[in-house]
């Protein structure tokens, strides 16, 4: 939903003195009826993350994270109504920018998203995700890297407004029916979020990724980009808690159920539903319902990815694809052997790959070079190993439905 930027007045940066209690509760209380279920869902997510980390080769995890960041970018953009195909996101990452002005903007925006998410994965965002510093840093990085046109907006009276990356808004805004707090009050509310969502137990941290998602949007700290930032902050919260990098795409789940996602967010803006609905100003029941939706979405996406990378299924799809490519002359004979090996182990010594390929009567060096040219594999000089990669075209075949056709 597009933000409505109000005309600036002499009272810019004013603080209307709104009570911090306006967006309480910030989490679902321990005594709430829904809390046991939410705790169970959070623990389920943690268990799935542990299972994934212990059963998947690190090199495979890294390759999956690369393609999952593209998926996250595609689906997060889709939620915002910005349509760019994963192939064009991949081209942007490879420096292959297209000539059309609108596509150049979309590619630049997508490249910014992928880069920021990789920074999160690499631990480059200072402080914990819901700290004021981290929230502003994520917004700053995204808008500094993105196209300049993304920073230009128009207020309700037609005035052109330039957004400053990472800087708290100085104007009033309206989002649908919700009117966020006055500009001067934003720092106070963000400081409250920072205190409320300090890292504690694993279960609480996972639940905070859900609850904090809405409460950050409720404050609406920036003139624009709040939806993207909230999804990246929640992603960072899960990543810092679980250490799974981009193992599944939360944005995919939210995009596929966009109407439900938006309805939940709107419901969370509503006041408490009576004396039994928590003790804050906003509805605890609505926050519980959103948290349940959010955590279930994480579980659904984790299960979806697990089904895609189930070893026998994945190898069968990859072998079928590679044999088709060999038959069509797009890959040399022996590529199927090397690809199957890389899928099993994530990486392998170059000499091991060469010896297996050579048993097929093919030229090992020719096959390895062809896989690298096709971006299906790359040579890691630091480890002297050949590592798997998932370019978009290959992913669309061997991991169906992760990306659009």
In tens, the pLDDT along 375-404 reads 999 988 888 889 999 999 999 999 999 999
CA distances from 175 to 211, 265, 368 (A): 19, 11, 53
Q: Which band of pLDDT confidence, cut at 50, 70 and 90, is reported for residue 360?
A: low
Cα torsion 214, 216, 217, 219: sign: positive
Q: Does 186 have pLDDT greater than 80?
A: yes
Q: 133 lies in a domain? A: yes
Last residue of a domain, one of 308, 334, 351: 308
User: Distance (Å, rounded) from C-alpha 91 to C-alpha 390?
Assistant: 14
pLDDT on residue 7:
53
pLDDT on residue 100:
86
Percent of the chain at pLDDT above 90? Answer: 79
pLDDT on residue 329:
94
Q: 403 lies in a domain? A: no
More confident residue, 145 or 350: 145
Chain centroid to CA 248: 9
Q: 361 lies in a domain? A: yes
Instruction: Please give the model's pTM, rounded to 2 decimal places.
Output: 0.93
303 lies in the same domain as 319? no
264 lies in the same domain as 352? no
Last residue of a domain, one of 308, 329, 349: 308
Q: Which CATH number goes with the domain that contains 198? A: 1.10.3290.10
pLDDT on residue 5:
64
Mean pLDDT of 265-272: 95
193 lies in the same domain as 182? yes
25 lies in the same domain as 97? yes
Q: Which band of pLDDT confidence, cut at 50, 70 and 90, is reported for residue 320?
A: very high
Last residue of a domain, one of 283, 308, 333: 308
Tokens of 109: 């925006």
Q: Does 250 have pLDDT greater than 80?
A: yes
User: Distance (Å, rounded) from C-alpha 256 to C-alpha 218?
Assistant: 22
Mean pLDDT of 337-354: 88
Mean pLDDT of 100-121: 95
188 lies in the same domain as 269? yes
Percent of the chain at pLDDT above 70? Answer: 96
Q: 320 lies in a domain? A: yes
46 lies in the same domain as 29? yes
Q: Which CATH number goes with the domain that contains 392? A: 1.10.10
pLDDT on residue 10:
43
Q: 373 lies in a domain? A: yes
Q: 134 lies in a domain? A: yes
Q: Does 159 have pLDDT greater than 90?
A: no
164 lies in the same domain as 272? yes
Mean pLDDT of 119-136: 95
Mean pLDDT of 147-175: 90
294 lies in the same domain as 340? no
Which range is most confident: 53-57, 245-249, 301-305?
301-305
- The per-residue pLDDT of the chain, averaged, comes to 92
Least confident interval from 218-227, 301-310, 348-357: 348-357
What is the number of structural domains in the chain?
A: 2
User: Distance (Å, rounded) from C-alpha 183 to C-alpha 400?
Assistant: 45
Q: Does 317 have pLDDT greater than 50?
A: yes
256 lies in the same domain as 380? no
241 lies in the same domain as 196? yes
Q: 301 lies in a domain? A: yes
145 lies in the same domain as 192? yes
pLDDT on residue 1:
45
Domain that holds residue 42: 3-308
Q: Which band of pLDDT confidence, cut at 50, 70 and 90, is reported for residue 3?
A: low
25 lies in the same domain as 164? yes
Q: 350 lies in a domain? A: yes
């Amino acid at each position: 939903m597009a933000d409505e930027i109000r005309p600036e007045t002499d009272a810019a940066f004013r603080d209307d003195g709104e009570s911090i209690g306006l967006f309480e509760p910030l989490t679902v209380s321990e005594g709430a009826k829904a809390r046991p279920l939410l705790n169970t869902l959070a623990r389920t997510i943690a268990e799935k993350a542990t299972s994934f980390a212990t059963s998947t080769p690190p090199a495979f995890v890294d390759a999956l994270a690369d393609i999952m960041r593209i998926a996250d970018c595609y689906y997060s953009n889709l939620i915002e109504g910005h349509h760019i195909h994963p192939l064009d996101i991949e081209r942007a990452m490879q420096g292959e920018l297209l000539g059309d002005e609108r596509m150049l903007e979309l590619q630049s925006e997508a490249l910014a998203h992928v880069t920021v998410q990789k920074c999160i994965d690499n631990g480059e965002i200072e402080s914990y995700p819901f700290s004021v510093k981290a929230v502003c840093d994520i917004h700053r990085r995204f808008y500094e890297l993105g196209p300049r046109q993304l920073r230009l907006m128009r207020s309700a009276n037609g005035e052109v407004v330039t957004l400053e990356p990472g800087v708290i808004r100085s104007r009033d805004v309206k989002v649908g029916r919700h009117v966020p707090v006055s500009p001067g009050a934003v720092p106070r509310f963000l400081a409250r979020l920072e205190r409320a969502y300090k890292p504690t137990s694993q279960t609480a941290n996972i639940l905070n990724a859900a609850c904090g998602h809405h409460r950050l949007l409720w404050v609406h700290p920036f003139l624009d980009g709040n939806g993207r930032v909230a999804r990246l902050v929640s992603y960072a919260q899960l990543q810092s808690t679980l250490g799974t990098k981009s193992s599944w795409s939360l944005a995919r789940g939210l995009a596929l159920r966009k109407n439900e996602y938006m309805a939940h967010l709107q419901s969370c803006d509503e006041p408490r539903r009576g004396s039994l609905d928590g003790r804050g100003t906003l509805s605890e029941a609505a926050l519980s319902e959103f948290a349940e939706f959010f955590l279930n979405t994480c579980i659904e996406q984790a299960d979806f990815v697990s089904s895609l990378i189930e070893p026998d299924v994945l190898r069968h799809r990859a072998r079928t694809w590679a044999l088709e490519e060999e038959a069509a002359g797009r890959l040399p004979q022996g590529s199927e052997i090397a690809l199957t090996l890389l899928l099993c182990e994530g990486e392998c010594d170059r000499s091991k790959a060469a010896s297996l390929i050579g048993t097929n009567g093919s030229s090992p060096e020719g096959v390895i070079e062809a896989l690298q040219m096709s971006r299906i594999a790359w040579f890691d000089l630091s480890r002297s190993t050949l590592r798997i990669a998932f370019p978009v075209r290959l992913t669309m075949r061997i991991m169906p439905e992760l990306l659009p056709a």
